[in-house]
Structure 1
Amino acid sequence: MANRSTLRTPRTRAERQRETREALILAALDAFSRDGYHATSLEGIANEAGFSKGAVYSNFDGKSDLFLALMDFNLEMLRGADWDPFSTADAADTATAGEAEPKTAGGLEIAEMVRGFGLATLEFIATAARDEKLVFALRERMQVMIGAYERIATEARPADENLPPDDIARLMAALDQGSSILALSGITLVDPALIRAGLRRILDPASAADDPAPERDSSISYPGVAQVQRLFQETPEI
């Protein structure tokens, strides 16, 4: 007979629904990153997560709602309270010797996922911009990112700065997102060290002007890869 202390307490309905929702979000992360926003189907996401299409509709209103939930998931990971856009740590700092590079739940390399999801997001933005309801929802998500930069701008605000922190935050977010678009388009290599230098120039021009030129790192071709690698190494699977 099993020891009572080893018996697992049955999951509540709310717990099962949360687990289903999270599994669908992780499957969607792989699907959208691999196939893009328009080419991804809800049926394919459901199959990848091991559920029926009905499970998707019981948790999300449709594909756009699922993508917005995925954006929320990424914003929560990448724009947490301890987020630091000037962090210079990379994946090698947290990797264990001989340990394989982390991958997504569906087996994508982190660099593939970051680039693929960035492209899918551009597709979604183009779609949302033509939909009054979606553009409002998208604006809310972008404001989360700007709010994170505003926290940084407020904490590091120079005494002689005339621009308000929210304006500085918008400029920093514009550099962040604009550099991503350049990298995704393949127009130019966007080095993380150069982005950090640019953010410092926006945040505190007088001090940053005396900084030495950043050492370029050609191993990462677009922003976010090292940060996501660290998150996948440090965060337990959902």
Structure 2
Amino acid sequence: MDQHRLMPARRKRRTRAEQKRETRNALIEAGLLTFSRDGYHGASLEEIADTAGFSKGAVYSNFGGKSELFLAVLDYNLSTLRGEHWDPLALAGTAGDALSEQLAGDRNQAEKLVRGFELATLEFITTAARDDALVPALRTRIQTLLDAYKRVVTAHRAPDEELAGDEIAQLMAALEQGVSVLALSGIASIDGSLLRLGMRRLLGDSVGTADRSGHTSLLPTVEQVQRLINDSAAEPEVPE
């Protein structure tokens, strides 16, 4: 018998750069979950590190503090949920096969995570706007959000719409953030169908007025958040 065939495959040793990148990514994902649940001010670096499976020192080895970690989480959120294929006008689940019963059951958790992070972002904005060191970083992220809406405007605006694309993008972003303020105040709650309808009106689309039925999501890419929840529930691999 060939003894070499009985030997297990040798595991490839990760480089320091790979270990650092994996640790950083784990902290970002744990930060998203913790900030969404506890808010920006309520979240602690100890809790984030513990959720990721590391000590608090790992946070400071990768980030300068809570604000820098939050900016990294914000970047992750913008790139994952507001990427080039993001379309806030699309119905949830229309991009592919119908969600399984299990995924449908997790939707409330995913939507709560999305909404929680939006509220945490509002907390961060009010803090960063008073900090001269954070204002440039904040403006960069807001511009990324506006650019995402500008892509939506380019794809969906009515041919006879007189407002400039940048103006419509700003109004759509303001509408979404206004919804978050209403939710934070507890005065009112606007569902995804009404939010989409308002955005369609800004685009000069009067056809979508009947789009008010069925279960909807504030973000059409909520399935990505569901996968994140499932991935984050797995035991993190301890760096070598």
| TM-score over 0.5 for the pair | yes
Q: Is the 8 A contact 1:118 1:184 kept in 2?
A: no
The aligned amino acid for 2:210 is: A
1:199: which partner in 2? 199
2:150: which partner in 1? 150
- Matches of 1:233 and 1:210, distance apart in 2: 31
- Matches of 2:225 and 2:98, distance apart in 1: 10
The aligned amino acid for 1:128 is: A
- 1:2/1:85 Cα in 2 relative to 1: closer, same or farther (>3 Å)? farther
Q: Does 1:31 align with 2:37?
A: no
Counterparts of residues 33-112 of structure 1 (less than 5 Å)? 33-90=36-93, 94-98=98-102, 101-102=105-106, 109-112=109-112
- Matches of 2:44 and 2:208, distance apart in 1: 48
What's the CA shift for 1:31?
A: 1.9
What's the CA shift for 1:233?
A: 4.5
- Matches of 2:16 and 2:225, distance apart in 1: 28
1:209: which partner in 2? 206
- Matches of 1:183 and 1:90, distance apart in 2: 24
Q: Is the 8 A contact 2:145 2:173 kept in 1?
A: yes
- Matches of 2:207 and 2:47, distance apart in 1: 52
The aligned amino acid for 1:191 is: D
- Matches of 1:50 and 1:144, distance apart in 2: 31
- Matches of 2:161 and 2:201, distance apart in 1: 12
What's the CA shift for 1:119?
A: 2.5
- Matches of 2:75 and 2:187, distance apart in 1: 28
- Matches of 2:85 and 2:18, distance apart in 1: 27
Relative contact order: is structure 1 or structure 2 higher (C-alpha 8 Å, sep ≥ 6)? 2
1:237: which partner in 2? 231
Superposition RMSD on alpha carbons, in Å?
2.9
Among the aligned pairs, what percent are the same residue? 51
Aligned length: 227
Per-residue CA deviation, residues 155-205 of structure 1 (Å, 9 max, x unaligned), is: 3344433322111111111112212222332222212111111111111x2
The aligned amino acid for 2:225 is: F
1:177: which partner in 2? 177
**Structure 1 range deviating more: 172-181 or 154-163:** 154-163
**Structure 1 range deviating more: 41-50 or 7-16:** 41-50
- 1:144/1:5 Cα in 2 relative to 1: closer, same or farther (>3 Å)? farther
Q: Does 1:21 align with 2:21?
A: no
- Matches of 1:84 and 1:161, distance apart in 2: 19
Per-residue CA deviation, residues 64-88 of structure 1 (Å, 9 max, x unaligned), is: 0000100111111111111111111
- 1:98/1:131 Cα in 2 relative to 1: closer, same or farther (>3 Å)? closer
- 1:160/1:232 Cα in 2 relative to 1: closer, same or farther (>3 Å)? closer
Per-residue CA deviation, residues 138-169 of structure 1 (Å, 9 max, x unaligned), is: 11111111101111222334443332211111
Counterparts of residues 118-133 of structure 1 (less than 5 Å)? 118-133=118-133
TM-score, structure 2 normalization: 0.82
TM-score, structure 1 normalization: 0.82
- Matches of 2:91 and 2:29, distance apart in 1: 27
